[in-house]
Amino acid sequence: MTSPEGILGLIFIIKLTEHIKVRSVKSMSDFTGGEYKIIVVGAGHAGCEAALAAARLGHKTAIFTINLDSVANMPCNPNIGGTAKGQLVREIDALGGEMGLAADANFIQSKILNRAKGPAVYSLRAQIDRRAYSEHMKLVLEEQENLDVKQAEVTDIICEEGKVKGIRVHTGTIYLCKILILTTGTYLKGRIVIGDSSYESGPDGLLPANKLSDSLKKLGIKLLRFKTGTPARINERSVDFSKLIEEPGDDEIVPFSFMTGDLKKEQVSCYMTHTNAETHRIIRENIHRSPLYSGDIEGIGPRYCPSIEDKIVRFADKESHQVFVEPMGLGTKEMYVQGMSTSMPEDIQIKMLRTLPGLENAVIMRPAYAIEYDCIDSTQLDLSLEIKTIDGLFFAGQINGSSGYEEAAAQGLIAGINAVMKLENREPLILTRAKAYIGVLIDDLVTKGTNEPYRMMTSRAEYRLYLRQDNADARLTQIGHDIGLVSEERYSRFIKKQELIGQETERLKKTILPPSKEVNEFLRRHKSAEIVTGIRLYDLLKRPEIDIEYLKEIDQYSDMPKEVIEQVAISIKYEGYLKRQMIQIEQFRRMEERLLPEDIDYKNIQGLSLEARQKLDNQKPQSLGQASRISGVSPADISVLLIYLESRKRKNKEKD
């Protein structure tokens, strides 16, 4: 039934529970600091969303952080959004989360990426004032009804009979709860490495959480060790901007939140420079001093953000790499040097940086570092983000092996919602791969697991054309409303927008252009085939070369809001492809809806391949669809499961 590891874990749990019973419940010396429905450990991007969702849904919640001055900190790049990540923020917002609103309030530069590459990949990205964002989010937490905000290092998880009971903090104080959500980011046994120096630390000079990892191990939870890194921060005064290429923001600002109206703001620029032969020479000559190559770092780093020394070694033929110099905020002279993440010793870091045009005199304020940390093997979770082995224990964010603020926030929101669903005996919110990037993210983590910090990419989404940033509200706001997180104001805005989209689509279907001289002149102007009979605006829009903006030249154009026009244009222009995707989604949905009862004894299902028996038994997937994505489970195994489910159903009927 259970793997040796699992059995060991079980023994641990039993031992620990006995132990804790004695210590925590019966011992009178322990001080109980409070009793909550939900406790969130960690106030990063995941923790904030989780705590806010839980409190907003009406449950008494506490959020703990090791340092209250680092709430929603951005210890790496000072920006939010980008490809796939921008979509995540939009989805968080559509469900009633906080990140989009906070980003809109604190950005200092905004850009839409991929404008020319098609609506499936338009992505919003903003540079953020890091301190302002952190303070903003801290205040949001502080002002939130039902939410207590506390500074403490959580050292122990208290479980009884496989059920979460509470936590113990560094002072020995106990806090009781029904549900515990761990969002500890990269703090667990954090170890920073800079050249040959290494020390225990959380990110950004904050304290690490050294004890919680052991508590997790004792609960039988399998941990992995990951690594990530961040580049140096330099002082703006030491940069020669005349040698850098300026990268300004977009003239027209598109907000993240569906609630934010027109945004006008003075923006600041980012700057670009390049590495050169000299930079690469310094790195090559000193490669032995990089702990990544001397074997000092064991954690598995992400392939998508290698350090500069990694890039030089792995892509030796590339003569130059882009480097971006980005402001960290308005109230600081610190600048982030994107592209130069490294774990080289400080003397080499300075030499490397000073080879870049414009950075000849760069003064480092914070050196680059690599950080190793513990995270859990995310396949131990179910799709609601609760761990399968302990009742009431949820995980979200980097502790699940993901990377990125947006990925963390998305999981935090879902964990917060599902904590409440569990308390209220309601169905958990499981967004599928066909519903949201959030669904792709969580399904990838839980079903496939990850062996490196997981970053969201649009190419990971099967239904990319449907999972767009512009329709995140159409996909998710109703769900957010049903859950109770979406305010009435947001909801009525959403309904109004959908109505306008319907009206405008209808109008375009009804309006017929005659084959007049004027119309054909218009068509010629835009290199489109002329017409001899009337054509509906709707059909005209289907022509790839006709942009909806052009219609202003010939149509009595209605003054619909921009976001409505955008939606209408995309759904008409890509109608064929969207239909195709919807058919695929329908097939996908059927598989997802075939649920697999928890008590299936996979080991004894005749006809399943041996590998499938083991994997299914280990992971206990929630649906046939999820089962089909587990590596080693073949289409034939799925057929066998189908037959098994059917015969089980019939047997149950016979019993009745």
Chain residues binding other proteins by CB under 8 A are 76-77, 83-84, 113-114, 116-121, 123, 229-231, 303-308, 310-311, 314-315, 318, 321-322, 324, 338-339, 341, 457-460, 462, 464-465, 544-545, 574, 577, 590-591, 594, 605-609, 634-637, 639-640, 642-644, 646-647, 650-651, 654
Q: What are the angstrom distances between the C-alpha of 532 and each of 546, 553, 583?
A: 18, 19, 35
CB of 339 to other proteins, least distance (A): 6
Using the minimum distance from each CB to other proteins, give the nearer residue, 118 or 428: 118
Q: Rounded distance, CA 50 to CA 72, Å? A: 12
Using the minimum distance from each CB to other proteins, give the nearer residue, 85 or 497: 85
Using the minimum distance from each CB to other proteins, give the nearer residue, 444 or 504: 444
CB of 544 to other proteins, least distance (A): 5
CB of 640 to other proteins, least distance (A): 5
Q: Which residue has the tokens 């603020």?
A: 405
CB of 257 to other proteins, least distance (A): 23
DSSP letters for 408-451: HHHHHHHHHHHHHHHHTT-------TTT-HHHHHHHIIIII--S
Using the minimum distance from each CB to other proteins, give the nearer residue, 330 or 583: 583
Instruction: Look up residue 434 and give its two tokens.
Output: 């066909």
CB of 118 to other proteins, least distance (A): 3
Using the minimum distance from each CB to other proteins, give the nearer residue, 258 or 466: 466
CB of 407 to other proteins, least distance (A): 14
Amino acid present at 101: L
Using the minimum distance from each CB to other proteins, give the nearer residue, 123 or 384: 123
What phi-psi label fits residue 107: left (phi over 0), alpha (psi between -120 and 50 degrees) or beta? beta
Contacts of 115 (CB under 8 A, 6+ apart): 122
Using the minimum distance from each CB to other proteins, give the nearer residue, 246 or 488: 246
Using the minimum distance from each CB to other proteins, give the nearer residue, 28 or 610: 610
Contacts of 505 (CB under 8 A, 6+ apart): 538, 568, 571, 572
Q: What's 26's DSSP letter? A: I
Q: What are the angstrom distances between the C-alpha of 46 and each of 395, 413, 647?
A: 9, 7, 42
Using the minimum distance from each CB to other proteins, give the nearer residue, 491 or 644: 644
CB of 63 to other proteins, least distance (A): 28
CB of 455 to other proteins, least distance (A): 9
Q: What are the angstrom distances between the C-alpha of 516 and each of 513, 520, 535?
A: 8, 6, 11
Q: Rounded distance, CA 209 to CA 189, Å? A: 6
CB of 177 to other proteins, least distance (A): 36
* H-run or E-run covering 480: helix 472-483
* H-run or E-run covering 135: helix 130-143
The residue among 30, 29, 8, 3 whose CA lies nearest residue 165 is 30
